[in-house]
Structure 1
């Protein structure tokens, strides 16, 4: 019997994940059955269960890929010299997420799938642990960027790095939520809004 190549195995796994992501983005995790996934990918149950024992494993695999892509995009953007300001960095990250790394087909569907992952983490301990680790990693990376901003003189000394990190992460999460709910939100809106906030100055008290 001919030995199946690793390339073939990887391509089959990719086919299953992509098909499952489309199903989940279209109908949600709980309204999607494994039979729906089988029909979407055009494979037998045996072929799919060789890679994933069930829907929960598929959900975790999709989440791992999505957050791995976000981390990679973030570190790539953050390695630029000089370090991009938050408005530029966030816009680059989100553009890459929705244009290149998006699970579920891109745009609103992908944002909706990310929201589903967040809510699923409330009941799935494995997924919750994975997200906790991913967010802690991202908070640490943002905090290091905040230190770089402070060292370059563009961030006030009295602003805690962790505070800035969590605030910028919240801005990204809020954009994803708006994208999922309303669909027509443009990354340029977030970029311009952040730039406007960055330009504000407290009035001098006479």
Structure 2
């Protein structure tokens, strides 16, 4: 995950440094150096548990504020963790997650603060992959909204093609301290879209790092 580290961990380290809110950042590879990415049954979950234990044993870690975020397969793995690691993770941010081509454990349905971004033209991690099988980004976010006791609207608002902007929908009625926020944007399979454009990826100009930092630091 050298790309994540060289990009200041989705630019979150830049915010940590500028506010002197120092954090421990980690960008791990999946089991077997990430091949075939984050889809090795429970092996990557075991790896995460072992890694977190090492950090807790050897570093000064605020165990009430452990977070995970990722893009694409990183988002899928983060989503996978969010379904059964609610006691270890305070909040997660998933940039283009999916729930049909990744190992998914038995969902404990406990609450977790959840943030998600999805491009409305994403053909890799679609907003709706299969309504019949409850697969797609829509079902990632609505599942957590249900687990957090939020009110789920008949239609979750999304931005429109050609708008060159993003919109945020914050679910209402959620359990206290367990918000769910969904950001849709005019673009495709991207982790750093830029308002005013469609298809541009630039983490230093994207709105996502600031929104993620704000989401995490509320806890």
Pairwise same-fold verdict (TM > 0.5):
no
TM-score by length of 2: 0.27
Whose helix proportion is higher, 1 or 2?
1
TM-score by length of 1: 0.29
Rg larger in structure: 1
